[in-house]
Structure 1
Amino acid sequence: MAFDYFTVLAEMRTGSNLLESNLNAIEGIECHGELFNPGFINRAGTDSYLGVSQSERDSDPWKLMMATRAGGGRMVGFRLFHDHDPRIWQHVLNDSGCAKIILTRNPLDSYVSRKIAAATNQWRLGDVSNRRQTKVAFDAAEFETHLSRMQQVQIGIQRALQSTGQSAFYISYDDVNDLEVLNGLARWLGVPSRLTELPRALKKQNPEPLEAKLSNPEDLAPGLARIDRFDLGRTPVFEVRRGPLLAACYAGAQTPLLFLPLRGAPEASVIRWLATLDGVEETALPHDFDHGRLAKWRRGHPGFRAFTVIRHPLMRALEVYSSKVVSGEFEAVREHMARLFDTRFPEDPASMSEGDHRAAFKAFLKFCAASVSGQTGLQPWPMWASQSANLAGFAQAIQPDLILREDRLAEDLRYLAQSLGHDAPPPYQPPTKEPLSAILDAECHALAYAAYRRDYEHFGFAAPQT
């Protein structure tokens, strides 16, 4: 594939200075340093480059980008870190004409190297005789934060490449001085020149074993033991990403409130309260939004508050079961329950006993777990998708100011209305208690947790006792 330019996606103390130096030794390649570092251009202490000042770059980064790429005949690029200009970061990740060179290093080595560089104020080394040495202290909590940040950056890069159908050239710190790897990189960039020997302009700064760089090497093993290096404790997420369900949103007629409903959680009762708050019929409330109408409403209501309401996952599933599955409205769900769990509903649901409902509801919870985990051909609809996924969908368009909980909704809605000028807001009338609550047992709680563990953990619902 022919590339127009390249970027080295790296982080501090991963060897990016050394890689840049080696790349610039290859005829036809020119790497221009950290062009979009918020503190300087190209190198520390530089506030203008290629005729573009730092202030000009900050207001229009594309001016510097085009100045860098001008000249032709060379493969030009620059180094880019996750905290550099986000406009350029997003652009290069999505630009298939940009060759991505992803430089990585053992995160513990980069953490220690960064602490040494900060302590000695030596960030590059050209002459070994000028090398400054010191020992630094290992801080387990500090390293865990560093590791988490680096993992999230790499996950973001991987996601961007996958969703845009791109590939990248991965190179580790240990391979930056490998002649064959460097020539392979030149070949991948489409540059015909090759190195016959390694450049020697820069040197690796701290070649000693890790323990020799630490003032407290005895704290290393206990500190690392507390870190889940492979993220084994995470809850796997196979649920499809959702878009924002803007058409379901309702706004106040006069009060600048925007309700983002999570299907299966309190919805109709909140909409009734919203209408009563302004003394209008529900049909008078602004609703049926799309991105354009929502943007217009927000501009016209400065100081607005957006909120949503979550429900306990078990009670939410029971509500969907009783209102949508038992009624036959979700025929596709019934078909899956019959095929997967041999669960069939009578023509007259009123004939079902409490035991019948309990067995059918457990089958529905098993179906939900399978659907949310991507194990059925029926992708989760908003009604039984996790509340976490639905809320993440809304976040693509708008973030709620408040996430309210059903068990204290009356108090929270009163506070919300009073904060917007209603001294005596109408009381919230909760929906009537679900009549099938009597069918719930310990197994129902366990099945709900299995299906919606992500919601239990994200929102702090207590896990069922085993």
Structure 2
Amino acid sequence: MASFDYFVVFAEMRTGSNFLEANINSFEGLSCLGEAFNPHFIGYPENEKIHGITQKQRDADPNLLIEKIKAADGLNGFRYFNNHDPRVLDICMSDRRCAKIILTRNPVESFVSWKIAAATGQWKLTNMNHAKTEQITFEPREFEAHLEALQSFQVKLLNTSQRLGQTAFYVAYEDLQDVDVMNGMAEYLGCYERIASLDKKLKKQNPMPMSQKVSSFSAMETSLARLDRFNLTRTPNFEPRRGPMIPTYIAAPKSALLYMPLKTGPDETICDWLGRLDDAGADDVLRDFSQGSIRKWMRTHPGHRSFTVLRHPLARARGLLSSYFANG
């Protein structure tokens, strides 16, 4: 584990950070120490110390705890939310030896989950028989303030990483149930152990539809309609959580090249070129991929490259109009 000295999980309340921490801790040599820089406690509620450092010592000098975390056996880290000690953010973001994991979730879902947890007092659930729930009232101004703070923090992480030439491992809430993603995260951290299954002790709270969680659901829909729905996931998550246009992808018969067409692109020309590249024809290119077959193709073509062809805007517009009128 020589790539990093320690790691930080950037997250927020109700994004699945407890579940992520539990799975990090299932890897030998990795240890996540909770919310080490929460202003109200150190690591976990009622915790007194982390590696011998008290909350009072930590507050006086956060570097004391960071150095202890770095010096501990294995690779250690902690969870950091946007309301934690801001001095720690500056220390971690400027340190190339600090691995960054960034966990995101749809802001509406995390906000509603947070309101329910605050109303019921239940922040973790290990036994579904003890589950508590309560309908909440959606307050538009409160949500907008929450969203502004969340996005500001996430964009700061992104821009700081860009300016310093660093990269982070991004995980969405939806990825947490994928054991392959967890194993990939471990590899990013320099741990080459692999787990076969996820830690299932923590249960998902409030799995019912959003309409059953919010008493003012129609008012919430009206309020959210004023906001840019695509920007709601700019936290940042890079792509909408919808399936890419995988069935349109085209691969060379043998070479490790994958073409991702855009509408009105020169598909016939590209197919002919891909075929001739492998001494074949346009009819021999590989098409009709699915999620499963595209992953299999990528595994069997190490070092593969994907590309697209973007035409001049006027040519593309002309092609789109021709296609529109041709289809009536």
Q: TM-score over 0.5 for the alignment?
A: yes
Q: Any residues of structure 2 matched to 1:281-300 within 5 Å, and which?
A: none
SS of equivalent residue, structure 1 residue 147: helix
Match of 2:39 in 1: 38
1:3 paired with 2:27, answer no
Q: Distance in 1 between matches of 2:161 and 2:54?
A: 32
Q: Distance in 2 between matches of 1:146 and 1:209?
A: 21
SS of equivalent residue, structure 1 residue 215: coil
Q: Distance in 1 between matches of 2:67 and 2:4?
A: 15
Q: AA paired with 1:189? A: L
Contact 2:82 2:150 in 1 (8 A): no
What per-residue deviation string (whole Å, max 9, x for no partner) do you get for residues 353-411 of structure 1?
xxxxxxxxxxxxxxxxxxxxxxxxxxxxxxxxxxxxxxxxxxxxxxxxxxxxxxxxxxx
Match of 1:212 in 2: 212
| 1:228 Cα offset (Å) | 3.2
Q: Any residues of structure 2 matched to 1:82-93 within 5 Å, and which?
A: 82-93=82-93
Contact 2:49 2:55 in 1 (8 A): yes
Q: Distance in 1 between matches of 2:56 and 2:227?
A: 42
What per-residue deviation string (whole Å, max 9, x for no partner) do you get for residues 8-32 of structure 1?
0011111111100111011121000
Q: Distance in 2 between matches of 1:70 and 1:93?
A: 19
When residues 190 and 145 of structure 1 are mapped into structure 2, their CA distance, relative to the original with a 3 A threshold, is: same
What per-residue deviation string (whole Å, max 9, x for no partner) do you get for residues 192-213 of structure 1?
1111111122111121111111
What per-residue deviation string (whole Å, max 9, x for no partner) do you get for residues 49-74 of structure 1?
322111111001111112222233x1
When residues 132 and 231 of structure 1 are mapped into structure 2, their CA distance, relative to the original with a 3 A threshold, is: closer
Q: Distance in 2 between matches of 1:192 and 1:231?
A: 36
Name the % identity. 46
Contact 1:10 1:81 in 2 (8 A): yes
1:177 paired with 2:177, answer yes
What per-residue deviation string (whole Å, max 9, x for no partner) do you get for residues 323-351 of structure 1?
xxxxxxxxxxxxxxxxxxxxxxxxxxxxx
When residues 33 and 231 of structure 1 are mapped into structure 2, their CA distance, relative to the original with a 3 A threshold, is: closer
TM-score, L = length of structure 1? 0.48
Q: Any residues of structure 2 matched to 1:317-332 within 5 Å, and which?
A: none
What per-residue deviation string (whole Å, max 9, x for no partner) do you get for residues 129-152 of structure 1?
111111111111211111111111
When residues 179 and 142 of structure 1 are mapped into structure 2, their CA distance, relative to the original with a 3 A threshold, is: same
| 1:227 Cα offset (Å) | 1.7
| 1:158 Cα offset (Å) | 0.9
Contact 1:99 1:189 in 2 (8 A): yes
Q: Any residues of structure 2 matched to 1:446-465 within 5 Å, and which?
A: none
1:24 paired with 2:25, answer yes
Q: Distance in 1 between matches of 2:231 and 2:131?
A: 37
What per-residue deviation string (whole Å, max 9, x for no partner) do you get for residues 251-309 of structure 1?
xxxxxxxxxxxxxxxxxxxxxxxxxxxxxxxxxxxxxxxxxxxxxxxxxxxxxxxxxxx
Q: Distance in 2 between matches of 1:181 and 1:213?
A: 29
Match of 2:274 in 1: none
Match of 1:302 in 2: none
Q: Distance in 2 between matches of 1:45 and 1:218?
A: 40
Q: AA paired with 2:212? A: A
How many residue pairs match? The answer is: 231
Aligned-residue Cα RMSD (Å) equals 1.6
Contact 2:6 2:69 in 1 (8 A): no
Q: Distance in 2 between matches of 1:228 and 1:182?
A: 31
Higher normalized contact order (CA 8 Å, seq sep 6+, divided by chain length): 2
Q: Distance in 1 between matches of 2:82 and 2:94?
A: 15
Contact 1:33 1:42 in 2 (8 A): yes
1:48 paired with 2:49, answer yes
Match of 1:164 in 2: 164
Match of 2:263 in 1: none
| 1:230 Cα offset (Å) | 4.8
Match of 2:144 in 1: 144
What per-residue deviation string (whole Å, max 9, x for no partner) do you get for residues 151-172 of structure 1?
1111111110000000110001
Q: AA paired with 2:148? A: S
Contact 1:144 1:227 in 2 (8 A): no
Match of 1:135 in 2: 135
Match of 1:62 in 2: 63
TM-score, L = length of structure 2? 0.68
| 1:231 Cα offset (Å) | 6.1
Match of 1:459 in 2: none
Unaligned runs of 5+ in 2: 233-328
Contact 1:28 1:193 in 2 (8 A): no
Match of 1:105 in 2: 105
Q: AA paired with 1:97? A: R
Contact 1:112 1:136 in 2 (8 A): yes
Contact 1:6 1:76 in 2 (8 A): yes
Q: Distance in 2 between matches of 1:119 and 1:227?
A: 26
Q: Distance in 2 between matches of 1:192 and 1:34?
A: 25
| 1:221 Cα offset (Å) | 1.5
Q: Distance in 2 between matches of 1:80 and 1:167?
A: 17
| 1:47 Cα offset (Å) | 3.5
Q: AA paired with 1:117? A: A
SS of equivalent residue, structure 2 residue 8: strand
Structure of larger gyration radius? 1
SS of equivalent residue, structure 1 residue 36: coil
Contact 1:32 1:76 in 2 (8 A): yes
Contact 2:161 2:167 in 1 (8 A): yes
Q: Distance in 1 between matches of 2:92 and 2:72?
A: 20
